[in-house]
Amino acid sequence: MSTTERRRSVDLPSMAAEFRRHPSPWLIGAVFVGALVGRALVGDWQWTDALVPVIALAVFPFVEWVIHVVILHWRPRHVVGMTVDSLLARKHRAHHADPRAVPLIFIPWQTLLWLLPVLVAIAVLAFPRIGLGLTFLLTVSALGMVYEWTHFLIHTDYKPKSATYRSVWRHHRHHHYRNEHYWFTVTTSGTADRLLGTEPDADAVPVSATARNLHAASGQ
């Protein structure tokens, strides 16, 4: 889809159809389905399983914030004659340069090819019982799908219908179209950014000249 073409159909079914055309939702979705089936087969439900989604929901905005600030907004560095610059950071700079380019909205599939197996390994090896590990994997993959869908929808022409989504939509679009130094969470507003001091009054923040060209002031 051309980045300059105005999208004609902006209802949720058409957005869902576009969402399904990209590899990231399928990769994350496959892990979600596998974890769901595995969790149902293993059984052994205990009260600690209920803690996993509660803790994950509380921590997730801060995880988004840290990843966004530290990894996605990574400034390329030269170390021993080599440039240290990850695929995620390069793709994110391209995303800022063209926020309407649909393929750039998603987590790169190349990253998911190693990240998802790592999460599976953590689920299998880092928990005292396999059931709890599968609960973790199920929760993380569900949050991953929520992240991808929310981020995708914000960057389409779909207009907010609910107050909650309108707040999240406005929050992330401030990051792209007003100032890239604030508003780092994607799936929530008024959470990690507010606690960490990066959710100012938008009217008090000047429009950044580098929101579309990250690190331009340093020539990068």
pLDDT tens-digit profile of 25-41? Answer: 999 999 999 999 999 99
Asked, for residue 71, whether it belongs to a domain, the answer is yes
* DSSP 8-state class, residue 77: E
* Number of domain units in the chain: 1
Asked, for residue 198, whether it belongs to a domain, the answer is no
The residue segments making up the domain with residue 128 are 12-161
pLDDT score of 217: 52
Alpha-carbon Rg of the chain, whole angstroms? 19
* Res 203 pLDDT > 90: yes
pLDDT tens-digit profile of 153-201? Answer: 999 999 888 999 999 999 999 999 999 999 999 999 999 999 999 999 9
% of the chain at pLDDT higher than 70? 94
Give the residues across from 78 on adjacent strands.
Answer: 83
Give the residues across from 84 on adjacent strands.
Answer: 77
Asked, for residue 185, whether it belongs to a domain, the answer is no
pLDDT score of 172: 98
82 or 24, which is more confident:
24
Q: How far is CA 14 from CA 20, 27, 125, 142, 220, in A?
A: 10, 21, 40, 22, 37
pLDDT score of 9: 60
Asked, for residue 155, whether it belongs to a domain, the answer is yes
Residue 80's pLDDT band, with cuts at 50, 70 and 90, is: confident
Residue 220's pLDDT band, with cuts at 50, 70 and 90, is: very low
Answering whether pTM is above 0.75, one says yes
Q: Phi first, then psi: give them for residue 78, nearest 5 degrees.
A: -105, 120
Rounded Cα distance, 100 and 87, in Å = 19
| pLDDT, average across residues 90-111 | 97
What single-letter amino acid sits at 80?
A: V
pLDDT score of 8: 55
Sign of the C-alpha dihedral computed for residues 180, 103, 30 and 17 taken in this order: positive
Asked, for residue 97, whether it belongs to a domain, the answer is yes
Q: How far is CA 206 from CA 71, 99, 198, in A?
A: 24, 20, 14
- The residues, any chain, with a CB within 8 Å of residue 98's CB and separated by 6 or more, are 3, 104
Asked, for residue 213, whether it belongs to a domain, the answer is no
pLDDT score of 79: 86
Asked, for residue 41, whether it belongs to a domain, the answer is yes
Asked, for residue 178, whether it belongs to a domain, the answer is no
